[in-house]
Amino acid sequence: MAKLEVEITVNGEQHKLKVGSQERLLDTLRDELKLTGTKEGCSVGECGACTVIVDDQAVNSCLVLTAQVDGSEIITVEGLESKSGLHPLQKAFIEKQAVQCGFCTPGMLMSALALLNTNPTPTKEEIKTALEGNLCRCTGYQQIIDAVEMAAEEWGV
Partner 1 sequence: MAFKHVNKGVRRVDAYEKVTGKAKFGADLEFANMLHAKVLRTEYPHAEIEKIETAAAEGMPGVRGVFTAKDIPNNLFGVIVQDQQVLADKKVLLAGDGVAMAVAETEAQAAAALEKIKVEYRELEGVFDPLESRKEGALKLHPEKDDNQVIHHPLRKGDVKKGFAEADVILEREYTTQFIEHSYLEPEAVVVVPNEENHLVSVYGSIQNPYATRNAVSAVLEVELAEVRVIQNHIGGSFGGKDEVVSAMAARAAVMALKTGRPVKMVNSREESFTESYKRHPYHLTYKIGATKEGKLTAMEIAAVADSGGYACQTPFVTWRSVVQATGPYEVENVKTDTYGYYTNNPYTGAMRGYGSPQVIFAQESLMDELAAELGLEPVELRKRNMYSQGSVTASGQKLERHTVSLNEVMSKAMEAIDYKKKYEEYSREQPGDKKKGIGLSISFRGCSLGAEAIDAAASVIQINKDGSVAVYSGLAENGQGLKTIFSQIAAEVLGVPMSEVEFKELDTSFTPDSGSTVASRATLIGGNAIKDAAEKLKGRIMDFAAGKYDFKIDQLELKDGFLYDGQGNRLATFADLTGEMGNTGILMSAYGWYKSPPISWDEEKGSGNPYFTYVYGCQIAEVEVDTGTGELSVLNMAAAHDVGRAINPENVKGQIYGGVMMGLGYGIMEELEVRDGVIQGTNFHDYMIPTIKDMPDIKPVIVENPDPDGPFGAKSIGEPTLELGSAAIANAVAHASGRRIRSLPLNLERVLIGRALHKGGK
Chain residues binding ligand FES by CB under 6 A are 40-43, 45-50, 60, 62, 99-104, 136-139
| Nearest residue (CB) to ligand FES, 58 versus 67 | 58
Contact yes or no for 4/68 (Cβ under 8 A): no
SS (H, E, C) 89-122: HHHHHHHCCCCCCCCCHHHHHHHHHHHHHHCCCC
**CB of 47 or CB of 152, closer to ligand FES:** 47
Q: Residue 71 and residue 64: Cα distance in Å, rounded? A: 14
Residue 154 binds partner 1, judged by CB under 8 A: no
**Packing angle of the helix pair 124-131, 105-118 (nearest 10 deg):** 130
Is residue 42 involved in binding partner 1 (CB under 8 A)? yes
Instruction: Indicate the residue among 109 and 150 with the shorter CB distance to partner 1.
Output: 109
Q: Which of 96, 88, 97, 35 is nearest to 66 (CA)?
A: 35
Contact flag: residue 74 with partner 1 (CB under 8 A): no
Residue 67 interface partner, choices ligand FES, partner 1, none, CB cut-off 5-8 Å depending on type? none
Q: Residue 26 CB, nearest distance to ligand FES (Å)?
A: 7
User: How far is the C-alpha of 130 from the C-alpha of 146, rounded, in Å?
Assistant: 14
Query: Minimal distance in Å, beta carbon 54 to partner 1?
Result: 17
Pairing relation of β-strands 73-75 and 3-10? Answer: parallel
Least distance from ligand FES to the Cβ atom of residue 84, Å: 26
Chain residues that interact with partner 1, rule: CB under 8 A: 30, 35-44, 46-47, 49, 76-78, 80-81, 86, 90, 93-95, 97, 99-106, 109, 128-129, 131-145
